[in-house]
Amino acid sequence: MDDNVKVQDANKRGINYATILFFLGIAYLYFVHDIKLIYFLYGSGSWGVGCLLKIILYSLIVKKLPHNSDKITVTATINGFISGISELGAALLFFILFPIESFLQILAFGIGIGAFEALLTSSTKSSKLFKDTELEKPALELEAIMNDSQGLKRIMYHQIFPAVERIIAGLIHIGTRGLALISLLTFNPFPLLLAIMSFTLSDGIIGYKMLYEGKLNNLKNLNKTYYYLSAVALLTISAFLILWMKMAG
């Protein structure tokens, strides 16, 4: 078997581990708490709409912004902000059209996004996700470096870390949508601003900037990126839980 095929299969196994966890969460909420499957579909549907809007805005705005070393921080920040308003704007639209009434329903909404995104990434090479964007070249370079890893590093970077990345993304999806819903229910913009800040950090300053600059080609920097994203995920989900408990009284 071609070595690249082996690597892709290993990546898929890693992401599939996380996908299984998401679907176990769906099964638990459905069978134990009687949460209807439609709430998971609302989540994945909102994510699809948000991604479509994000792609359009990226082509119209971010791709035309300067990507030199002096401007990349600003460009990456704008990209993260656009990512946030696109995905959260779509989520708010779905909340208005299909009201969410409980904590478990918003949990199902977020898990639905995480599960759908994990399914998508498990069937697509990471570099293809960035095709025709400014990140395509650095993504291919990172992919080549990862493909050269051997032994324990290969297991870590092609199975364990892809699963961890999907779990981190899932926590951010749950936390940001929960914060957006709190803003809608309380007419308080603060939780929504926290959610947008989470996107600005994860999809912008941490993700876009570090990948574009090629810093992730250094595995130590790649490890740090997982730490940073984990911190953003934990802070986001914690803020959601604290503000939800405060709202619920």
Residue with tokens 């992730």: 216
pLDDT per residue, tens digit, the chain (249 aa), is 444 444 444 455 567 788 899 999 999 999 999 999 999 999 999 999 999 999 999 999 999 999 998 999 999 999 999 999 999 999 999 999 999 999 999 999 999 999 999 988 877 766 567 877 888 888 888 877 777 777 787 778 778 888 899 999 999 999 999 999 999 999 999 999 999 999 999 999 999 999 999 888 888 898 999 999 999 999 999 999 999 999 998
Which pLDDT score is estimated for 148?
75
Token pair in block for residue 72: 């990349």
Domain boundaries, the chain: 3-248
User: Tell me, what amino acid is at 119?
Assistant: L
Which pLDDT score is estimated for 80?
98
By the 8 A CB rule, do 212 and 135 touch? yes
By the 8 A CB rule, do 154 and 10 touch? yes
Which H/E stretch holds residue 96? helix 72-97
By the 8 A CB rule, do 212 and 138 touch? yes
Which H/E stretch holds residue 186? helix 161-186
Residue with tokens 């792609």: 55
Q: DSSP of 194-236, one letter per residue?
A: HHHHHHIIIIIIIHHHHHHTTGGGSHHHHHHHHHHHHHHHHHH
Identify the DSSP state of 35. -
Which pLDDT score is estimated for 89?
98
66 vs 210, 218, 229, CA distance in Å?
16, 24, 25
User: Tell me, what amino acid is at 197?
Assistant: M
Which pLDDT score is estimated for 3?
47
Rounded CA separation 74/79 (Å): 9
Which pLDDT score is estimated for 18?
85
Which pLDDT score is estimated for 193?
98
Q: Is 69 exposed, middle or buried (0-12, 13-18, 19+ CB in 10 A)?
A: exposed
Rounded CA separation 164/157 (Å): 10
